[in-house]
Structure 1
């Protein structure tokens, strides 16, 4: 990495995601904001041709970019681009094609390798299509599981975060019918422990207060509507309390969010994907960020998908990926890996 880089300006990678989704558009829009270039040195993993195609289709002004070669010579006042494939790719905005999935993986693979080698300080991943990216090399439900394995972490936690609330999920990308059997006391303790540590290390909460949701309607209603709260969730909470953690619950999910109880806590631990993500996206969709806690490196992403229905139409909102960049820098600062960087 270029030794002349200012110590307070982190190098942040952005993987381009599905080429036919909104990933290229939101990256271009976010990086067209000069404030971002003052905050970070961006490295886009994808293709200069793809970026050029979408820039022209959106009638945006040309932006200065620097093709990055094998020596990884970065220009710290331009948008750096790593070309991750050489073959010509036909772009079909709004369509899920095998080629767009293959390219999305190539960009992710290269970006992850560079993050692991320390060439970049953090990684923001644009949305992928979880079906067309599948291959012998990518056999994962999503980004979170792939990156967790690549960094050889024992476990990780998907956290959806905004200034308004933070929600982690015990079970992530799995079918709803699998959730009850996947929930164990040990699993809840492990996920809650990652959340507690992340709130301290990544978000600066000295003594975080954590709320835990129940699984069943009305948190089981004392066993009438299900016994997971009594047999699994409450014992996990009790064990964590014995260790001195400020952790409370289990709370019925509907009333917890409906009465804004989440405002009394630093973070909330949900039992399954939609239980946590539906209220989160209702309250924080445009500024929400997906953060993978429990890793040695920083990875964030926007909290939305490929949005094929608006891809290529210049309708995509870049607020979430901009928030993902700001949050990655904030987390780096909290971890003391770099000198403080202002995101104001």
Structure 2
């Protein structure tokens, strides 16, 4: 039996080594009970991890390997993907560290595509220092959308609170132009399918937030709700998707209306992430819904200001691991259920033969 058949293989990209990423990775894996659920493989190098372990006084035991075929179940494996020595300078924006963060992420993505790992959890990166000639993406999600099958949707998750985005890393001045019926349809269908397949919510209720103040006040403060959003939402509802809106965003969370829905879709990044992080910061997970592979990440960034001090909270990263495992297992259940289903005609033939 190969290593892949024994356990869920969890790939982890190292993120920015000058931030808190490595610390929260190591803290999340410090409790050996997590090894009963998965076999972690950190794409990086044993030397800087050992150094950060010492500085932050973390006791996680790591095992260096040079090939994915060397993965040892029951161990925290570190795949050595570079050999050069590097200088860790916590809290510093370093282009070399950015290059290594992207090297880790790209190699982990290739392993995910090739089914050499089952799920991917990504540590935080600095979007500025990752840019180079071969990587010109604003972040993880855009690259994964290009490399994997499906249509990516950023979905922030904390228990029953799920917030998705119509547009994510887009300047605010460009949001209104980007809101087309086609985009809204694609995102609503993606989140509806994800709620069914990844979360096993079989009649999901979805809310869409309006773009303008007071959802445009029937066209007085903007026409996008009347001309684009409402007709598209009605069309999807008539098709059987339980989607409602657009709701005025200002009172939607304050009035706890969000608790009546399985997911909320915001028009732009801060409209969705500000209330989500207010309610869930430190416990939320960023899940890339809509793709054929499972990727999650914590809901925070590199946190340069506390890097190397041993005080970073690992809860969000640990929750990202648990959510990735849970979704992977739910997808396996879906495959098994569908494999057991016989076409109606075949069932009738089988029944007649048995009579």
Q: Does the TM-score normalized on the shorter chain lie above 0.5?
A: yes
Match of 1:98 in 2: 95
The structure with the largest helix share of the pair is 2
Give the counterpart of 1:221 among 217, 238, 241: 217
Confirm or deny: 8 A CA contact 1:159 1:166 kept in the other structure.
yes
Per-residue CA distance 1:233-281 (angstroms, 9 max, x = gap): 1111011011111110110111110101110010001100000000001
Give the counterpart of 1:51 among 26, 30, 49: 49
Gaps of 5+ in 1: none
Tell me which stretches of 4 or more aligned residues in structure 1 moved more than 4 Å: 4-7, 337-340
Confirm or deny: 8 A CA contact 1:24 1:50 kept in the other structure.
no
Match of 1:172 in 2: 168
Aligned residues: 336
2:117 equivalent to 1:111: no
Per-residue CA distance 1:41-65 (angstroms, 9 max, x = gap): 000011111111111001223x332
Give the counterpart of 1:289 among 249, 269, 285: 285
Confirm or deny: 8 A CA contact 2:62 2:78 kept in the other structure.
yes
Confirm or deny: 8 A CA contact 2:66 2:81 kept in the other structure.
no
Confirm or deny: 8 A CA contact 1:289 1:320 kept in the other structure.
yes
Cα 1:203–1:222 change in 2 (3 A) is same
Give the counterpart of 2:130 among 133, 138, 162: 133
Confirm or deny: 8 A CA contact 2:10 2:118 kept in the other structure.
yes
2:207 equivalent to 1:211: yes
Per-residue CA distance 1:58-92 (angstroms, 9 max, x = gap): 1223x332222235221111100111211111111
Higher alpha-carbon deviation: 67-76 or 186-195: 67-76
Could you state the TM-score of these two structures normalised by the residue count of structure 1?
0.95
Confirm or deny: 8 A CA contact 1:22 1:310 kept in the other structure.
yes
Deviation at residue 150 of structure 1 after TM alignment: 1.1
Match of 1:3 in 2: 2
* Mapped partners of 1:35, 1:285: distance in 2: 25
2:287 equivalent to 1:263: no
* Mapped partners of 1:40, 1:338: distance in 2: 20
Gaps of 5+ in 2: 337-355
Confirm or deny: 8 A CA contact 2:144 2:152 kept in the other structure.
no
Q: CA RMSD in A?
A: 1.6
Per-residue CA distance 1:9-43 (angstroms, 9 max, x = gap): 31101101011011110001001112211211000
Give the counterpart of 2:25 among 16, 27, 35: 27
Confirm or deny: 8 A CA contact 1:93 1:308 kept in the other structure.
yes
Residue correspondence of structure 1 range 185-196 to structure 2 within 5 A: 185-196=181-192
Match of 2:348 in 1: none
Confirm or deny: 8 A CA contact 1:41 1:77 kept in the other structure.
yes
2:193 equivalent to 1:197: yes
Confirm or deny: 8 A CA contact 2:197 2:331 kept in the other structure.
yes
Give the counterpart of 2:14 among 13, 16, 20: 16
